[in-house]
Amino acid sequence: MDLKGKVAIITGARRGMGRTHALALAKAGAKVVVADISLEDCQKVVKEIEKNKGEALAVKCDVAKKEEVEEMVKKAVEKFGKVDILVNNAGICQFKPFLDLTEEEWDRTLNINLKGYFLCAQAAAKEMVKQKSGVIINIASVAMGQVGVGIPNIVHYCASKGGVVGMTEALAVELAPYNIRVNAISPGMIETPMIDPIKKDPKVAEAMLDRVPMKRVGKPEEVSNLVLFLASDASSYMTGSTVVIDGGWLAG
C-alpha cells in the first residue's frame, strides 16, 4: 500500500478521523492537502506530517462553498502538480428530535455532508480525468439507511449519509471509463468529537455499546487503515463499494 508519488486531499482533516487519515496517507508516502474550516488547526496537522518527514499543505475550506472547494483543488495542483486521491471526510452531526428540527438545521447538514461531497468530488474528478486515474473515498456511516437500523434524533444526518452511498455508486459507474475508482466507508461508533453528545449520557452510551458485538468504540486509526487500503493499488478492482467498519454492529 505504497502511495509514494501520489497527491491526496483530505477534507475535515483538522481533527478526528480526518486528521488520522491525513497522517496515515502521508506515512504511506503521499503528499497531503489538509483541508478544513480552521487554517490554524490544519497547519498543526501539517507540522505533524512534516515532523515525520512528510510533505503537506494546509488549506482553509468550507466544503459547502463551491468557490472555496475549487480554490482548494487549485492550490493542491499549484503546490503538488496533480490530484490522485480525494477523501471526502468533512461532516457534522447534530442530535435533535425530528419534530423540533428546523429547515436551517436540515439545510446546513445536507449542505456540508452531501452537497460538500458532490462539490469536492466534481472539482477533484475534473483533475483526475486529465490523467485518467484517481481515487475518491467518501466517508458515509452505518446511519446510511437500508441496513435495518434506524437511529433517532439524527434524521438529517441519516439522510445525508444515505445520499453519500447513492452518490458513490452512481459516480463509480460514471467515472470508471476514466479509471477513477469511487468507494465509500461506513464507520460505526468511532472515538471522535462527533460522539461526545453520546458519551455525556452514560445510559445512552451503554445502550449503544450493547449493540456492538466487540463491546468497544472504534479508533480513528482503524478507519484510516481502510482508507489507506482503498486509496492504494491493493484495492485496484474495487469501485462502487460501501465497506462497513463497525465492530459488528450491523451484523449483531
pTM of the model: 0.96
Q: What is residue 244's predicted lDDT score, i.e. its pLDDT?
A: 98
| DSSP designation for 58 | E
Q: What is residue 207's predicted lDDT score, i.e. its pLDDT?
A: 83
Residue spans of alpha helices (H) in 56-154? 66-80, 103-110, 116-131
Cα 19 to Cα 170, 189, 222, 227: the distances in Å are 28, 17, 13, 12
Quick check: 110 and 32 in contact, CB under 8 A? no
**Which residues make Cβ contacts (< 8 Å) with residue 145, sequence separation at least 6?**
158, 159, 161, 162, 165
Catalytic sites, residue numbers: 157
pLDDT tens digits, 27-72: 999 999 999 999 999 999 999 999 999 999 999 999 999 999 999 9
Portion of the chain with pLDDT greater than 90, in percent = 88
pLDDT tens digits, 105-141: 999 999 999 999 999 999 999 999 999 999 999 999 9
CA 175 to chain centre: 19
Residue 205 has pLDDT above 90, yes or no: no
Q: What is residue 240's predicted lDDT score, i.e. its pLDDT?
A: 98
Residue 50, all three cell numbers? 512534516
**Most distant CA pair in the chain, distance:** 52
Q: What is residue 230's predicted lDDT score, i.e. its pLDDT?
A: 98
Q: How far is the C-alpha of 36 from the C-alpha of 17, rounded, in Å?
A: 12
Of 133, 45, 153, 146, whose CA–CA distance to 89 is shortest? 45
pLDDT tens digits, 143-201: 999 888 888 999 999 999 999 999 999 999 999 999 999 999 999 999 988 888 777 78
